[in-house]
Amino acid sequence: MNREGSKKLYERALKVLPGGVNSPVRAFRSVGGTPVFMESGQGCHVTDVDGNRYLDFCNSWGPLICGHRHPDIVSAIQSQLERSLTLGIPTESEVKLAEFILNGFRTNLPSIQKIRFVSSGTEAVMSAVRLARGFTGRNKIIKFDGCYHGHSDALLVKAGSGLATAGIPDSSGVPAAMTSDIIVLPLDDEDAVKQAFKDHGNNIAGIILEPVPANNGLLLQRPEYLQFLRDITREHGSLLIFDEVIIGFRLAFGGAAEYLGIEPDLITYGKIIGGGMPVGAFAGRDDIFKLLAPDGPVYQAGTLSGNPVAMEAGLAQMRLLTPDLYTNLEANRKRIQDAFNAKSYEFKMTGIASIFWFHRGEAPRTSASIDRDSMKTYAALFHHCLDQGIYMAPSGYEVGFLSSAMTDQDLDQFLDTVFAFFDKM
Ligand SMILES: Cc1ncc(COP(=O)(O)O)c(C=O)c1O
């Protein structure tokens, strides 16, 4: 496959962008080779600058649950372009999106009553943590080893896949003081959490985790463990913060609460909520949000927050998230997972909703038990797929996303390509 155009663009990019990219995992450091520069995306395909077409399982790292350029989203954006790009003054678009989301939560998330829009997942999480601290008047936050919650200073400790890929345990440039109130614990370990509450109980503002950790492998947690986290935070007057930047609107409209039956105090969103535009959000109870500026003393703001183009894209996206969409996506994922796992390969596929992940051996529940050595095989699989016209995330620590634009034929193409790789191994 000729990718000369990508190579030339990468050379140019290296001269002006650090590492040639604007987000580290895009640089192919984990899989080797030259990043592919894309020209366009339509449905479940992306086309690179050399005209090669790929079936896309990256889906912009999760936002594109309906594939690229869904006509409803494109037309919502086009109509908004006739009105404004940004105003920095309230618009109906942000009210409509908030109403649509919160009304949709009525059954499964009755205590999620207010939402604030921001422009990225990082901002959403950073702000939710600040609000949890402001609400409880406590400083300490429990996070879990290997879990990534965006790149705000305080949370860049023992964080996820991009860092695992680059081999950086923590980020340089983050003063120790910024992370001194973060307690890092292993996932899947009730005793570690109990001990932390014994040691710091009345100073723990909250626990933050992805209820389905999907940013450093797919580390499916035991439901009773998640329930335990819900119970222990309640018992100690701490908040449970679900980071649903990836899994929000991916598992179900009501997220983990609907899918797993556990309701947190605060939820953070990103990715799908913007329908492909840069949007994040954090949401929670009224009494917690009373503390947020301008109503309360916890400051948070943003020039482009609630941007009307992004809000209209988000609203069009939300309207597409029907129960049928989730049922079909889940059935498609189960089909490829069952077909893959029916083979007796060393690698297995783990999945939930429309997310899947390849791993060697048993499905890990903690980041420490991810088989680092298996990443070499993933790199070879990645390049095999790329050369056959399939784009997966360029790191074995990252998950794959199905979109509703994929047909049975697309999924068969994926399976045949993956089987051809593992059959030869
Ligand atoms: C769980 C989780 N939280 C937060 C973030 C940060 O989101 P963003 O990249 O939009 O800043 C990510 C990004 O992948 C994420 O996966």
Residue spans of the domains in the chain: they are: 4-70+322-424, 71-319
Per-residue pLDDT, averaged over 26-51, amounts to: 97
What is the architecture, at CATH level 2, of domain 71-319?
3-Layer(aba) Sandwich (3.40)
Residue 72 annotated among the catalytic residues of the structure: no
The partner residues of 43 in beta bridges, in order of sequence, read: 68
Q: What is the pLDDT of residues 330-340, one digit of tens each?
A: 999 999 999 99
Structure tokens that stand for 262 in this block:
């556990």
Q: What is the pLDDT of residues 140-183, one digit of tens each?
A: 999 999 999 999 999 998 876 666 554 444 788 988 888 899 99
Q: Is 249 within 8 Å of 283 (Cβ atoms)?
A: no
Of ligand 1's listed atoms, the one at least distance from the Cα of 122 is 11
Instruction: Provide the pLDDT for residue 164.
Output: 56
Rounded-to-integer distance, Cα 270 and Cα 316, Å: 15
Nearest to 240 by CA among 274, 279, 288, 200: 288
Residue type, 420: A
Instruction: Provide the pLDDT for residue 158.
Output: 81
Checking if the pLDDT of 352 tops 60, the result is yes
Within its chain, how far is the Cα of 130 from the centroid?
20
Instruction: Provide the pLDDT for residue 169.
Output: 47
Catalytic residue among 265, 269, 271, 410: 271
Of ligand 1's listed atoms, the one at least distance from the Cα of 210 is 1
Q: State the average pLDDT for the chain.
A: 96
4-70+322-424 carries CATH number 3.90.1150.10: yes
Per-residue pLDDT, averaged over 347-361, amounts to: 97
Identify the residue whose C-alpha is closest to ligand 1 atom 2.
Answer: 149
Per-residue pLDDT, averaged over 380-384, amounts to: 98
Q: What is the pLDDT of residues 45-88, one digit of tens each?
A: 999 999 999 999 999 999 999 999 999 999 999 999 999 999 99
Instruction: Provide the pLDDT for residue 170.
Output: 72
pLDDT band at 190 (very low <50, low <70, confident <90, very high): very high
**Three-state DSSP class for 366?**
coil
Nearest to 406 by CA among 50, 59, 51: 59
